[in-house]
Amino acid sequence: MKALALIAAVAGTTLAAPALAETVRVEMTGVVEFNQIHSGVLGQMAAGDPVLLSFDVDSNIYLNSENYPTRGYVIDDSSFTLSAGAAMVPMGQPQPATPYFVIRDNDPAVDGFFLSYGTDFPTSLDLDQQGAFGPFGAVGQVTYSGVRLHSLDILEAVGTYSFGYQSFYFGVTDGPVDAAGFILHEVRISVVSCPADCNGDGAVNTLDVLCFLNHWTASDAEADCNGDGVINTLDVLCFLNEWNAGC
């Protein structure tokens, strides 16, 4: 995960205990409302096309704002994809700064999420396509009426957020211009399972073999790799398959 290489570079990053690390997938879905881009991959989008903006973050790699009740989780840029109709565009490389998925908890009277190069205000994230004013940018911002979140911990935010929008801003920018607009349908936040990463440190290595064997001996649920409720030789095969794939 490329985001792991950013740990030392992100000043103020707060790390939780490694055993609690989880890969979390964020998916923003909707439809194209309008598209003023007439060339390149993004020019293939048409009104009514389904939209999916998807990326992964590590629950342990985040930066707390010094000014607001917000927390930014570092986006794994290799996992970032914007798909709309026939168009599919990754994140631009290199990024001008660290990209974040930011959680807002009662900030100051709303909950929500946004994309940014910081933790305080929404910004567009560079895509791998050039517009008239530089790289096109993906924007994703949504606030909700009423209490939706209970903390800045992304693991406590796992779920689907579909209704009660106070506002949203979802689309593609070209510098100061809204080049394409999307209607947001929902935001989905889910944990990406990796059974072979037994100790949850984000890596699959010999430490996971020891962890797996310890749980196997104790008949703990963590050794139930295939999730069938029984700990047997099928779980050994599952573990080895995940190990070979590297999760």
Residue range 25-64, pLDDT digits in tens: 999 999 999 999 999 999 999 999 999 999 999 999 999 9
138 within domain boundaries = yes
What's 30's DSSP letter?
E
In terms of domains, do 123 and 222 share one? no
Q: Residue type at 84? A: A
In terms of domains, do 124 and 226 share one? no
In terms of domains, do 210 and 159 share one? no
Q: Take residue 187 and report the two structure tokens written for it.
A: 């935001």
Residue 224: pLDDT band by 50, 70, 90 thresholds?
confident
Task: Please write the tens of the pLDDT for every residue from 7-29.
Answer: 323 334 443 334 356 889 999 99
Query: In terms of residue numbers, what domain contains 228?
Result: 206-245
Q: What distance in Å separates the CA atoms of residue 73 and residue 152, rounded to the nearest whole number?
A: 10
Q: What distance in Å separates the CA atoms of residue 23 and residue 130, rounded to the nearest whole number?
A: 30
What's 163's DSSP letter?
S
Last residue of a domain, one of 164, 192, 220: 192
Q: Residue 54 belongs to what H/E stretch?
A: strand 50-64
**What is the model's pLDDT at position 19?**
38
In terms of domains, do 45 and 23 share one? yes
Q: Take residue 127 and report the two structure tokens written for it.
A: 């895509």
Considering the entire predicted model, what is its pTM? 0.74
**What is the model's pLDDT at position 36?**
97
Q: Take residue 142 and report the two structure tokens written for it.
A: 């949504």
In terms of domains, do 176 and 212 share one? no
In terms of domains, do 125 and 85 share one? yes
**Number of domains composing the chain:** 2
201 within domain boundaries = no
In terms of domains, do 23 and 109 share one? yes
Query: How many alpha carbons lie under 13 Å from residue 174 in its C-beta half-sphere?
Result: 16
Distances, alpha carbon 139 to alpha carbons 107, 124, 195, 244, in Å: 19, 5, 33, 37
